[in-house]
Amino acid sequence: MIALGSDHAGFPLKEEIKNHLQQKGIEYKDYGCYSIESVDYPDIAETVALAVVQGQCDKGILVCGTGIGVSIAANKVPGIRAALCGDVFSAKASVEHNDANILTMGQRVTGPGLAIEIVDAWLAAAFLGDRHKRRVDKITALDRKYGRCLSEEKIDGQ
């Protein structure tokens, strides 16, 4: 199952992606937003990221105006490897080499036709493992190292 989310700026493209997934028979859960009314993208990104890391969904797709904000926000959740992709090659490589579990895109920079091609390439790609696994394991180690550090500082600081 795919976790979908967007802010108001990404809402129209998210709806295009949702329709495409429906037509292909791919299950998804829409975590909002549900209109062009203003919302804060970090809230949506966190909700989608948690759905992925907690195993409620296998992967996630996030859309905002540029794709940058949701990418930054989602990557703050340990275990998330969100990749901002504006082309098919990067989408495929983000999974094959980096085991990306969230795809992010920008409504204002990626047209719907290309976005659908990116989604299809990203969903069809598989992690290659091998030498790439060693590198992804190092990313996971950074999550553990700094995620734990930040959590302890917050607890001690309050």
Please count the CA atoms within 13 angstroms of the CA of 124 that sit on its side-chain side.
11
In the residue annotation, 64 being an active-site residue is answered as: yes
In the residue annotation, 8 being an active-site residue is answered as: no
Q: What b/e string do you get for 38-55 counting C-beta neighbours within 10 Å, with b at 16 or more?
A: ebebbebbbbbbbbbbee
The one catalytic residue in 33, 57, 64, 85 is: 64
DSSP 9-72: TTHHHHHHHHHHHHHHT--EEE-S--SSS---HHHHHHHHHHHHHTTSSSEEEEEESSSHHHHH
Q: Which residues are catalytic?
A: 64, 97
